Amino acid sequence: METKLTSETIYEGKIFRVSKDQVILDDQMVVQRDIVHHHGGVGVLAISDNKLLFVKQYRYAIAQTTLEIPAGKLEKGENPYDSALRELEEESGYTCKQLHRLFEIYSTPGFCSEKLYIYYTNELIKVEQPRAMDCDERIELVWYTLDEALSKIQTAEIVDAKTIIAIQFAKLHETELCQKEPKQ
Amino acid sequence: METKLTSETIYEGKIFRVSKDQVILDDQMVVQRDIVHHHGGVGVLAISDNKLLFVKQYRYAIAQTTLEIPAGKLEKGENPYDSALRELEEESGYTCKQLHRLFEIYSTPGFCSEKLYIYYTNELIKVEQPRAMDCDERIELVWYTLDEALSKIQTAEIVDAKTIIAIQFAKLHETELCQKEPKQ
């Protein structure tokens, strides 16, 4: 255990807050922990006609274009399921009747509170007038087969942690996830 | 693409630096990006006698105890391979003759530059007097079979992204990784 003694907010931004905390360890040692506080996010593994849906976008933080599953951050007070449906629609123009929860993960628990909820659907439904995405998002949709996606992990064309987890999961459950008749 | 116009450092800590940047998108829209700059880290999937090595530790950022593969952050100027060997030894008391690189991933590329290098070994060698770990680390070693580890993902006892990636990789390559004679 580590028990908080003091906490000072260093920065409060739109996406995260940073605090500098003094904590006491079980053996009474006092140390400093710098923490990035984040509301959490969602991601959706969406499969249709045996192809996986990816969002291609430039990520300024890592100065490169990534391929990621449709994803986004939780709004304050929003539940993860609704958030996942919203992000799927905003980013891809698809919705679905039901999402299945696959994972709850922490992206980098050493210094950041971000929790990600990963869902799955293979029943995408096109939305005629989808909700608009954030005004600073510029994305492109791409579809890959499971084997193409796996190969893009090996070639480091896919480098995003949550996306790799989703693809590996799809491969481990290929018979259940990729053989059904998906599109409506 | 997003091109940097200005960048202001908000906080410079031991683990990460935070900057507030003004960037211009391809269509000339100017937006703000808050970025967590991190040197990157390493993790090691270590298998011995068909068991996977995990580090149990309290993670203050998420207020819970986690099970993670041995891991740590890159020191300034340190190369990832040396860092992985060092962290493995510091955290577990083991070393090995050779690490195999499995992945280069980004933990949360939406706002953070942290890149993680994941390695693999199945040839652990006990170190008599291992290098000491960081003074604020309190860890315990645990070993699980691959199936135990997979089941701990399902029960959310394992929630760390890089660790889930390593375990799912091990399952996808079970015949190559888990059948050899490991311990020296």
> Rounded to two decimals, what is the model's pTM?
0.95
* ipTM value for the complex: 0.94
Please report the residues numbered 60 through 99 in chain B whose beta carbons come closer than 8 angstroms to any beta carbon of chain A: 60-62, 66, 68, 71, 73
H-state helical runs in B44-156: 80-92, 146-154
Nearest CA in chain A to B111: A61
In this prediction, what percent of chain A has a pLDDT beyond 70? 97
Q: Where does CATH 3.90.79.10 sit in chain B? A: 41-177
Cβ contact A73:A166 at 8 Å: no
Rounded to the nearest angstrom, the minimum Cα separation between B121 and chain A is 18
Q: What is the CATH number of domain A41-177?
A: 3.90.79.10
Is pLDDT above 80 for A183?
no
Asked if the Cβ–Cβ distance from B10 to A15 is below 8 Å, we say: no
Write the pLDDT tens digit of every residue in A37-67.
999 999 999 999 999 999 999 999 999 999 9
pLDDT > 70? residue A184 = no
| Residue in A with minimal Cα distance to B154 | A103
pLDDT along chain B (184 residues), means of 10: 95 96 93 96 97 97 97 93 96 95 97 98 92 82 97 97 98 83 49
